Protein backbone atom coordinates (compact mmCIF):
# COMPACT_ATOMS: atom_id res chain seq x y z
CA UNK A 1 0.00 0.00 0.00
CA UNK A 2 1.62 3.28 -1.10
CA UNK A 3 0.45 5.66 1.60
CA UNK A 4 1.06 8.82 -0.45
CA UNK A 5 -1.60 7.70 -2.99
CA UNK A 6 -4.24 8.32 -0.31
CA UNK A 7 -5.56 11.89 -0.24
CA UNK A 8 -8.46 13.83 1.25
CA UNK A 9 -10.70 13.60 4.29
CA UNK A 10 -13.90 11.63 3.67
CA UNK A 11 -16.95 11.41 5.87
CA UNK A 12 -19.85 8.98 5.64
CA UNK A 13 -22.97 11.15 5.23
CA UNK A 14 -25.51 8.97 7.01
CA UNK A 15 -29.09 9.45 5.86
CA UNK A 16 -32.18 7.70 7.14
CA UNK A 17 -35.54 8.03 5.38
CA UNK A 18 -34.08 10.67 3.08
CA UNK A 19 -32.92 12.89 5.94
CA UNK A 20 -29.26 13.56 6.69
CA UNK A 21 -28.42 12.60 10.26
CA UNK A 22 -26.98 15.40 12.40
CA UNK A 23 -23.76 13.41 12.89
CA UNK A 24 -22.92 13.86 9.19
CA UNK A 25 -22.79 17.65 9.61
CA UNK A 26 -20.77 17.27 12.81
CA UNK A 27 -18.26 15.08 10.95
CA UNK A 28 -17.94 17.64 8.14
CA UNK A 29 -17.19 20.30 10.79
CA UNK A 30 -14.30 18.25 12.20
CA UNK A 31 -13.17 17.09 8.74
CA UNK A 32 -12.78 20.76 7.68
CA UNK A 33 -10.29 21.31 10.51
CA UNK A 34 -8.34 18.14 9.70
CA UNK A 35 -8.33 18.92 5.98
CA UNK A 36 -7.05 22.46 6.64
CA UNK A 37 -4.13 21.00 8.64
CA UNK A 38 -3.34 18.54 5.85
CA UNK A 39 -3.88 21.02 2.99
CA UNK A 40 -6.61 18.91 1.41
CA UNK A 41 -10.40 18.93 1.01
CA UNK A 42 -13.50 17.29 2.44
CA UNK A 43 -15.61 14.72 0.60
CA UNK A 44 -18.98 13.45 1.85
CA UNK A 45 -20.01 9.96 0.75
CA UNK A 46 -23.77 9.74 0.34
CA UNK A 47 -25.32 6.27 -0.08
CA UNK A 48 -29.03 5.58 -0.63
CA UNK A 49 -31.80 5.55 -3.21
CA UNK A 50 -33.22 8.79 -4.66
CA UNK A 51 -31.01 10.83 -2.36
CA UNK A 52 -29.73 13.43 -4.85
CA UNK A 53 -31.85 16.08 -3.11
CA UNK A 54 -29.58 15.80 -0.03
CA UNK A 55 -26.40 16.93 -1.78
CA UNK A 56 -27.01 20.65 -1.31
CA UNK A 57 -27.29 20.47 2.47
CA UNK A 58 -23.95 18.63 2.64
CA UNK A 59 -22.40 21.39 0.53
CA UNK A 60 -23.94 24.09 2.71
CA UNK A 61 -22.42 22.48 5.81
CA UNK A 62 -18.98 22.52 4.20
CA UNK A 63 -18.41 19.46 1.96
CA UNK A 64 -16.20 20.36 -1.03
CA UNK A 65 -17.19 17.20 -2.92
CA UNK A 66 -20.03 14.72 -2.60
CA UNK A 67 -19.70 11.18 -3.94
CA UNK A 68 -23.19 9.78 -4.49
CA UNK A 69 -23.98 6.09 -4.83
CA UNK A 70 -27.67 5.91 -5.69
CA UNK A 71 -29.16 2.47 -6.19
CA UNK A 72 -32.38 0.61 -5.26
CA UNK A 73 -30.17 -1.83 -3.31
CA UNK A 74 -29.49 1.04 -0.90
CA UNK A 75 -33.14 1.91 -0.26
CA UNK A 76 -32.91 0.91 3.42
CA UNK A 77 -29.76 0.30 5.45
CA UNK A 78 -28.46 -3.28 5.27
CA UNK A 79 -24.89 -4.16 6.10
CA UNK A 80 -23.93 -5.97 2.92
CA UNK A 81 -24.85 -3.51 0.13
CA UNK A 82 -23.83 -0.48 2.19
CA UNK A 83 -20.46 -2.02 3.15
CA UNK A 84 -19.92 -2.99 -0.49
CA UNK A 85 -20.68 0.55 -1.65
CA UNK A 86 -18.50 2.33 0.93
CA UNK A 87 -15.59 -0.11 0.56
CA UNK A 88 -15.77 0.35 -3.24
CA UNK A 89 -15.70 4.14 -2.86
CA UNK A 90 -12.62 3.85 -0.62
CA UNK A 91 -10.83 1.50 -3.03
CA UNK A 92 -11.63 3.78 -5.96
CA UNK A 93 -10.96 7.23 -4.44
CA UNK A 94 -8.36 6.36 -1.77
CA UNK A 95 -9.06 8.78 1.07
CA UNK A 96 -6.36 9.48 3.62
CA UNK A 97 -8.96 9.67 6.40
CA UNK A 98 -12.44 8.10 6.55
CA UNK A 99 -14.81 9.18 9.35
CA UNK A 100 -18.09 7.45 10.21
CA UNK A 101 -20.57 8.40 12.96
CA UNK A 102 -20.72 6.02 15.93
CA UNK A 103 -24.48 5.61 15.47
CA UNK A 104 -26.22 2.23 15.43
CA UNK A 105 -25.64 2.17 11.65
CA UNK A 106 -22.06 3.48 11.80
CA UNK A 107 -21.02 1.00 14.48
CA UNK A 108 -22.08 -1.76 12.09
CA UNK A 109 -20.84 -0.22 8.85
CA UNK A 110 -17.47 1.19 10.01
CA UNK A 111 -15.81 -2.03 11.24
CA UNK A 112 -17.21 -4.08 8.33
CA UNK A 113 -15.73 -1.65 5.83
CA UNK A 114 -12.40 -1.29 7.62
CA UNK A 115 -11.96 -5.08 7.55
CA UNK A 116 -12.76 -5.15 3.82
CA UNK A 117 -10.29 -2.43 2.90
CA UNK A 118 -7.72 -3.96 5.29
CA UNK A 119 -7.12 -1.04 7.57
CA UNK A 120 -7.65 -0.37 11.28
CA UNK A 121 -10.52 1.47 12.92
CA UNK A 122 -10.63 3.38 16.19
CA UNK A 123 -14.16 3.17 17.54
CA UNK A 124 -16.11 5.79 19.45
CA UNK A 125 -13.63 8.67 19.23
CA UNK A 126 -14.19 11.84 21.22
CA UNK A 127 -11.26 13.84 19.83
CA UNK A 128 -9.41 13.87 16.50
CA UNK A 129 -6.38 15.91 15.49
CA UNK A 130 -3.43 15.86 13.14
CA UNK A 131 -0.09 15.34 14.86
CA UNK A 132 3.02 13.23 15.21
CA UNK A 133 3.13 9.57 16.11
CA UNK A 134 4.50 8.31 18.45
CA UNK A 135 3.46 11.32 20.50
CA UNK A 136 6.94 11.80 21.95
CA UNK A 137 10.46 10.44 21.53
CA UNK A 138 12.16 9.11 24.69
CA UNK A 139 15.47 10.83 25.49
CA UNK A 140 18.44 9.25 23.77
CA UNK A 141 16.25 7.31 21.29
CA UNK A 142 16.25 7.81 17.53
CA UNK A 143 13.35 10.00 16.29
CA UNK A 144 11.11 7.68 14.28
CA UNK A 145 8.06 9.91 14.54
CA UNK A 146 5.71 9.97 11.55
CA UNK A 147 4.21 13.39 10.89
CA UNK A 148 0.72 14.35 9.78
CA UNK A 149 -0.95 11.34 11.39
CA UNK A 150 -4.57 11.24 12.51
CA UNK A 151 -4.47 11.03 16.31
CA UNK A 152 -7.70 9.39 17.44
CA UNK A 153 -8.63 9.76 21.10
CA UNK A 154 -11.25 7.74 22.94
CA UNK A 155 -12.03 6.61 26.50
CA UNK A 156 -10.57 3.18 27.30
CA UNK A 157 -10.70 0.67 30.16
CA UNK A 158 -14.24 1.56 31.16
CA UNK A 159 -13.56 5.26 30.92
CA UNK A 160 -10.75 5.12 33.48
CA UNK A 161 -8.18 6.29 30.98
CA UNK A 162 -8.05 8.16 27.70
CA UNK A 163 -6.20 6.46 24.84
CA UNK A 164 -4.74 8.16 21.77
CA UNK A 165 -4.45 5.77 18.85
CA UNK A 166 -2.89 6.16 15.41
CA UNK A 167 -2.81 4.02 12.28
CA UNK A 168 0.61 4.93 10.82
CA UNK A 169 1.08 2.02 8.37
CA UNK A 170 -2.30 1.65 6.68
CA UNK A 171 -4.75 3.87 4.83
CA UNK A 172 -7.32 5.16 5.18
CA UNK A 173 -7.07 6.10 8.83
CA UNK A 174 -10.58 5.19 9.96
CA UNK A 175 -12.56 6.25 13.01
CA UNK A 176 -16.10 6.18 14.23
CA UNK A 177 -16.98 9.35 16.13
CA UNK A 178 -19.48 9.79 18.95
CA UNK A 179 -22.53 11.84 18.00
CA UNK A 180 -22.77 15.21 19.75
CA UNK A 181 -19.03 15.62 20.36
CA UNK A 182 -17.85 17.47 17.23
CA UNK A 183 -19.30 20.81 16.22
CA UNK A 184 -21.11 21.60 12.98
CA UNK A 185 -20.06 24.76 11.22
CA UNK A 186 -22.62 27.45 10.38
CA UNK A 187 -24.16 26.44 7.05
CA UNK A 188 -23.57 28.74 4.09
CA UNK A 189 -26.81 29.07 2.12
CA UNK A 190 -26.39 28.30 -1.54
CA UNK A 191 -22.87 26.79 -1.21
CA UNK A 192 -22.20 24.18 -3.88
CA UNK A 193 -20.06 21.05 -3.96
CA UNK A 194 -18.59 19.05 -6.82
CA UNK A 195 -20.87 16.03 -7.27
CA UNK A 196 -19.46 12.69 -8.37
CA UNK A 197 -21.91 9.90 -9.18
CA UNK A 198 -20.32 6.52 -8.66
CA UNK A 199 -21.71 3.09 -9.41
CA UNK A 200 -19.83 0.23 -7.76
CA UNK A 201 -22.15 -2.37 -9.32
CA UNK A 202 -24.36 -4.50 -7.12
CA UNK A 203 -24.78 -8.25 -7.38
CA UNK A 204 -28.45 -9.10 -7.79
CA UNK A 205 -29.93 -12.45 -6.72
CA UNK A 206 -27.54 -12.44 -3.83
CA UNK A 207 -27.99 -13.61 -0.27
CA UNK A 208 -28.43 -10.14 1.16
CA UNK A 209 -30.71 -9.79 4.16
CA UNK A 210 -34.19 -9.09 2.90
CA UNK A 211 -36.25 -6.55 4.82
CA UNK A 212 -39.81 -7.79 5.29
CA UNK A 213 -41.19 -4.95 7.37
CA UNK A 214 -40.04 -1.92 9.32
CA UNK A 215 -41.84 -1.24 12.60
CA UNK A 216 -41.17 2.23 13.98
CA UNK A 217 -40.76 2.59 17.75
CA UNK A 218 -44.05 3.53 19.38
CA UNK A 219 -44.20 6.93 21.08
CA UNK A 220 -41.82 9.79 20.60
CA UNK A 221 -38.80 9.95 22.81
CA UNK A 222 -37.47 13.48 23.18
CA UNK A 223 -33.88 13.76 22.11
CA UNK A 224 -31.85 15.18 24.98
CA UNK A 225 -29.07 15.98 22.50
CA UNK A 226 -31.26 18.73 21.02
CA UNK A 227 -32.05 20.42 24.36
CA UNK A 228 -30.63 23.86 25.15
CA UNK A 229 -31.29 23.35 28.87
CA UNK A 230 -30.98 19.97 30.61
CA UNK A 231 -32.11 19.29 34.16
CA UNK A 232 -30.25 16.08 34.92
CA UNK A 233 -30.86 13.94 37.99
CA UNK A 234 -28.84 11.23 39.66
CA UNK A 235 -29.25 8.59 42.33
CA UNK A 236 -29.55 11.39 44.88
CA UNK A 237 -33.02 12.25 43.51
CA UNK A 238 -34.16 9.13 45.36
CA UNK A 239 -37.09 7.78 43.32
CA UNK A 240 -38.92 7.89 40.00
CA UNK A 241 -41.67 10.01 41.64
CA UNK A 242 -39.14 12.61 42.80
CA UNK A 243 -38.17 13.22 39.18
CA UNK A 244 -41.41 15.24 38.92
CA UNK A 245 -39.51 17.98 40.82
CA UNK A 246 -36.89 18.05 38.09
CA UNK A 247 -39.57 17.96 35.38
CA UNK A 248 -41.24 21.01 36.97
CA UNK A 249 -37.94 22.89 36.94
CA UNK A 250 -37.27 21.86 33.34
CA UNK A 251 -40.76 23.03 32.30
CA UNK A 252 -40.26 26.47 33.83
CA UNK A 253 -36.94 26.80 31.99
CA UNK A 254 -38.17 25.30 28.70
CA UNK A 255 -35.69 22.44 29.06
CA UNK A 256 -35.71 18.65 29.27
CA UNK A 257 -34.92 16.10 31.95
CA UNK A 258 -31.94 13.76 31.62
CA UNK A 259 -30.11 11.51 34.07
CA UNK A 260 -27.10 9.49 35.18
CA UNK A 261 -26.71 5.77 34.61
CA UNK A 262 -27.63 4.99 38.23
CA UNK A 263 -31.11 6.36 37.47
CA UNK A 264 -31.50 4.08 34.44
CA UNK A 265 -30.25 1.09 36.44
CA UNK A 266 -32.86 1.87 39.10
CA UNK A 267 -35.56 1.90 36.41
CA UNK A 268 -36.55 5.52 37.16
CA UNK A 269 -35.99 6.75 33.56
CA UNK A 270 -35.39 5.05 30.21
CA UNK A 271 -31.89 4.70 28.75
CA UNK A 272 -32.72 7.35 26.11
CA UNK A 273 -32.29 9.96 28.84
CA UNK A 274 -28.86 8.78 30.07
CA UNK A 275 -25.91 11.13 29.73
CA UNK A 276 -22.36 9.81 29.69
CA UNK A 277 -19.91 7.40 28.21
CA UNK A 278 -22.50 4.68 27.65
CA UNK A 279 -25.31 7.18 27.19
CA UNK A 280 -25.49 10.36 25.12
CA UNK A 281 -22.99 13.18 24.77
CA UNK A 282 -24.71 16.52 25.30
CA UNK A 283 -23.56 20.13 25.08
CA UNK A 284 -26.51 22.28 26.14
CA UNK A 285 -26.27 25.96 27.08
CA UNK A 286 -27.10 25.05 30.68
CA UNK A 287 -26.69 21.65 32.39
CA UNK A 288 -28.08 21.13 35.90
CA UNK A 289 -26.43 18.14 37.66
CA UNK A 290 -28.75 17.38 40.56
CA UNK A 291 -27.86 14.60 43.00
CA UNK A 292 -25.15 13.42 40.60
CA UNK A 293 -21.72 12.66 42.10
CA UNK A 294 -19.72 13.43 38.94
CA UNK A 295 -18.20 10.05 38.04
CA UNK A 296 -15.73 10.25 35.13
CA UNK A 297 -18.10 8.26 32.90
CA UNK A 298 -20.89 10.77 33.50
CA UNK A 299 -18.69 13.84 33.12
CA UNK A 300 -17.42 12.51 29.76
CA UNK A 301 -20.92 13.07 28.38
CA UNK A 302 -21.62 16.58 29.67
CA UNK A 303 -18.39 18.48 30.34
CA UNK A 304 -18.69 20.45 27.08
CA UNK A 305 -21.91 22.11 28.32
CA UNK A 306 -21.61 25.92 28.31
CA UNK A 307 -22.70 26.38 31.93
CA UNK A 308 -22.83 23.59 34.52
CA UNK A 309 -24.81 24.08 37.73
CA UNK A 310 -24.41 21.36 40.38
CA UNK A 311 -26.70 20.75 43.34
CA UNK A 312 -25.36 18.20 45.81
CA UNK A 313 -25.45 17.75 49.58
CA UNK A 314 -21.81 16.62 49.60
CA UNK A 315 -19.48 19.64 49.26
CA UNK A 316 -16.65 17.29 48.19
CA UNK A 317 -18.60 15.64 45.34
CA UNK A 318 -16.38 15.60 42.20
CA UNK A 319 -19.16 17.22 40.16
CA UNK A 320 -18.18 20.54 41.77
CA UNK A 321 -14.77 20.26 40.02
CA UNK A 322 -16.45 20.70 36.61
CA UNK A 323 -19.33 22.96 37.72
CA UNK A 324 -19.42 26.69 37.01
CA UNK A 325 -21.91 27.22 39.85
CA UNK A 326 -22.54 24.94 42.82
CA UNK A 327 -25.19 24.76 45.51
CA UNK A 328 -24.44 22.56 48.52
CA UNK A 329 -27.61 21.29 50.15
CA UNK A 330 -30.61 18.99 50.00
CA UNK A 331 -32.01 18.88 46.47
CA UNK A 332 -35.49 18.17 47.81
CA UNK A 333 -35.52 21.67 49.32
CA UNK A 334 -33.44 23.51 46.71
CA UNK A 335 -35.12 22.30 43.50
CA UNK A 336 -38.74 23.23 44.44
CA UNK A 337 -37.53 26.58 45.85
CA UNK A 338 -35.65 27.31 42.62
CA UNK A 339 -38.71 26.41 40.52
CA UNK A 340 -40.97 28.67 42.60
CA UNK A 341 -38.47 31.55 42.41
CA UNK A 342 -38.24 31.20 38.62
CA UNK A 343 -42.02 31.05 38.28
CA UNK A 344 -42.31 34.25 40.29
CA UNK A 345 -39.95 36.09 37.91
P1 LIG B 1 -23.97 8.37 42.87
O2 LIG B 1 -22.56 8.25 42.48
O3 LIG B 1 -24.52 7.42 43.88
O4 LIG B 1 -24.16 9.87 43.41
C5 LIG B 1 -25.34 10.34 44.02
C6 LIG B 1 -25.04 11.77 44.47
O7 LIG B 1 -26.23 12.33 45.00
C8 LIG B 1 -23.99 11.85 45.58
O9 LIG B 1 -22.97 12.76 45.19
C10 LIG B 1 -24.76 12.37 46.78
O11 LIG B 1 -23.98 13.23 47.59
C12 LIG B 1 -25.89 13.11 46.13
N13 LIG B 1 -27.11 13.18 46.96
C14 LIG B 1 -27.75 12.17 47.60
N15 LIG B 1 -28.85 12.63 48.21
C16 LIG B 1 -28.91 13.98 47.96
C17 LIG B 1 -29.81 15.01 48.34
N18 LIG B 1 -30.91 14.76 49.06
N19 LIG B 1 -29.55 16.27 47.90
C20 LIG B 1 -28.46 16.56 47.17
N21 LIG B 1 -27.57 15.60 46.79
C22 LIG B 1 -27.80 14.32 47.16
N23 LIG B 1 -22.63 6.79 34.60
C24 LIG B 1 -23.32 7.71 33.93
O25 LIG B 1 -23.95 8.60 34.51
N26 LIG B 1 -23.35 7.68 32.55
C27 LIG B 1 -22.69 6.75 31.83
O28 LIG B 1 -22.78 6.77 30.61
C29 LIG B 1 -21.92 5.77 32.53
N30 LIG B 1 -21.22 4.83 31.85
C31 LIG B 1 -20.45 3.96 32.57
C32 LIG B 1 -19.64 3.05 31.87
C33 LIG B 1 -18.85 2.16 32.57
C34 LIG B 1 -17.99 1.21 31.80
C35 LIG B 1 -18.87 2.18 33.98
C36 LIG B 1 -17.98 1.23 34.75
C37 LIG B 1 -19.66 3.06 34.67
C38 LIG B 1 -20.47 3.95 33.98
N39 LIG B 1 -21.28 4.87 34.64
C40 LIG B 1 -21.94 5.81 33.93
C41 LIG B 1 -21.51 4.78 36.10
C42 LIG B 1 -20.69 5.79 36.89
O43 LIG B 1 -19.44 5.23 37.19
C44 LIG B 1 -21.41 6.11 38.22
O45 LIG B 1 -21.65 4.92 38.93
C46 LIG B 1 -22.74 6.85 38.02
O47 LIG B 1 -22.56 7.96 37.17
C48 LIG B 1 -23.23 7.33 39.38
O49 LIG B 1 -24.46 7.94 39.23
P50 LIG B 1 -24.92 9.07 40.24
O51 LIG B 1 -23.94 10.19 40.23
O52 LIG B 1 -26.33 9.38 39.91
O53 LIG B 1 -24.94 8.29 41.63
CA atoms within 13 A on the CB side of 277: 18
pLDDT of res. 218:
64
Mean pLDDT of 126-137: 92
pLDDT of res. 161:
82
| Residue 207 pLDDT exceeds 70 | no
Distance 266 CA to ligand 1 centre (A): 11
Question: pLDDT of 208-263, one tens digit each?
Answer: 678 888 887 665 567 899 899 999 999 999 999 999 999 999 999 999 999 999 99
The protein residue whose alpha carbon is closest to atom 11 in ligand 1 is 314
Mean pLDDT of the chain: 94
Distance 67 CA to ligand 1 centre (A): 44
| Rounded Cα–Cα distance for residues 15 and 262 (Å) | 33
Distance 281 CA to ligand 1 centre (A): 16
pLDDT of res. 276:
93
Question: pLDDT of 88-116, one tens digit each?
Answer: 999 999 999 999 999 999 999 999 999 99
pLDDT of res. 51:
98
Percent over 90 (pLDDT), the chain? 82
pLDDT of res. 219:
56
Q: Specify the higher pLDDT residue, 340 or 219.
A: 340
- Of 153, 151, 159, 148, which is closest to residue 178 (Cα–Cα)? 153
Q: Read off the pTM.
A: 0.78
The protein residue whose alpha carbon is closest to atom 14 in ligand 1 is 236
Mean pLDDT of 153-158: 84
Beta strands in the chain (DSSP E): 9-12, 15-16, 19-20, 42-48, 65-70, 97-101, 121-125, 127-133, 146-156, 161-165, 173-177, 194-197, 229-233, 256-259, 286-290, 307-312, 325-328
Distance 3 CA to ligand 1 centre (A): 45
Closest approach atom of ligand 1 to CA 260: 25
Mean pLDDT of 53-79: 96
Choose the residue to mutate in 157, 261, 278 for probing ligand 1, maximizing ligand atoms within 8 Å of C-beta.
261
pLDDT band for 155, please (50, 70, 90 cuts).
confident
Closest approach atom of ligand 1 to CA 263: 52
Choose the residue to mutate in 260, 271, 279, 336 for probing ligand 1, maximizing ligand atoms within 8 Å of C-beta.
260
Question: pLDDT of 180-206, one tens digit each?
Answer: 889 899 999 999 999 999 999 987 656
Residues 323, 326, 329, 333: is their CA dihedral positive or negative?
negative
pLDDT of res. 206:
60
Q: Is 80 helix (H, G, I), strand (E, B) or coil?
A: helix
pLDDT band for 144, please (50, 70, 90 cuts).
confident
| Residue 278 pLDDT exceeds 80 | yes
Per DSSP bridges, beta strands 307-312 and 286-290 are parallel
| Residue 148 pLDDT exceeds 90 | yes
- Of 259, 276, 279, which is closest to residue 267 (Cα–Cα)? 259
The protein residue whose alpha carbon is closest to atom 39 in ligand 1 is 297
Question: pLDDT of 296-310, one tens digit each?
Answer: 999 999 999 999 999
| Residue 53 pLDDT exceeds 60 | yes
When mean pLDDT is compared across 2-6, 51-55, 88-92, 188-192, the lowest value belongs to 2-6
Distance 272 CA to ligand 1 centre (A): 17
Ligand 1 contact via 255 beta carbon (within 6 Å): no
Cβ atoms of residues 178 and 156 within 8 Å: no
Mean pLDDT of 282-304: 95
pLDDT of res. 313:
98
Amino acid sequence: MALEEYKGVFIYAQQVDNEISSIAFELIGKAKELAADLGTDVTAVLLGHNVGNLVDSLAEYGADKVIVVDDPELETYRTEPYAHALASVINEYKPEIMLVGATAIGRDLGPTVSARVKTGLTADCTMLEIGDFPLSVPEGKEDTQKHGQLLMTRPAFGGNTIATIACPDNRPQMATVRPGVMQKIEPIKGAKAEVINYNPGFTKNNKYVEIQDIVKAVGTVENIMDAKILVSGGRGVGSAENFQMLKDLADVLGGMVSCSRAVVENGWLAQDYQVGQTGKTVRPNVYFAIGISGAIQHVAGMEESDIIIAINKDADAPIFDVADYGIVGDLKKIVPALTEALKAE
